Structure 1
Amino acid sequence: MIFNQLPTARLGPHPDRPRPCGNNVPHTPLRPMWFCRADGQPWPCPEARLLLRAEYGDRQPALSIYLAGLMYEAMHDLYHLNPHDGPAPRDLFQRFVAWGPYRRPIVGDPP
Structure 2
Amino acid sequence: MITTRLSAPGRGPRPQRPHAVGTDVPHTPLRPMWCCRADGQPWPCGEARLLLRVEYDGNLPGLSIYLVGLMYEAIRDLYQLNPADGPTPAALFDRFLAWAAPRRHP
TM-score w.r.t. the length of structure 2 is 0.76
Q: Does the 8 Å contact 2:18/2:54 carry over to 1? A: no
Q: Aligned pair in 2 of structure 1 residues 19, 31: CA closer, same or farther (>3 Å)?
A: farther
Distance in 1 (alpha carbons) for counterparts of 2:18 and 2:37: 12
1:47 paired residue number = 47
Match of 1:99, SS state, is helix
Q: Which amino acid aligns with 1:26?
A: P
**Offset, 1:103:** 2.9
Query: Which has the larger Rg?
Result: 2
1:90 paired residue number = 90
Q: Which moved more, 1:34-43 or 1:21-30?
A: 21-30
Distance in 2 (alpha carbons) for counterparts of 1:19 and 1:103: 20
Match runs of 1:22-101 below 5 Å = 24-100=24-100
Q: Which amino acid aligns with 1:59?
A: N
Q: Does the 8 Å contact 2:68/2:97 carry over to 1? A: yes
**Structure 2 portions without partners, runs of 5+:** 1-16
Runs of 4+ with deviation above 4 angstroms: 18-23
Aligned residues between the structures: 89
1:105 paired residue number = 104
Q: Name the structure, 1 or 2, with higher relative contact order (CA <8 Å, separation 6+).
A: 1
Q: Aligned pair in 2 of structure 1 residues 19, 106: CA closer, same or farther (>3 Å)?
A: closer
Distance in 2 (alpha carbons) for counterparts of 1:24 and 1:70: 23
Q: Does the 8 Å contact 1:19/1:26 carry over to 2? A: no
Q: Which amino acid aligns with 1:29?
A: P
Match runs of 1:5-16 below 5 Å = none
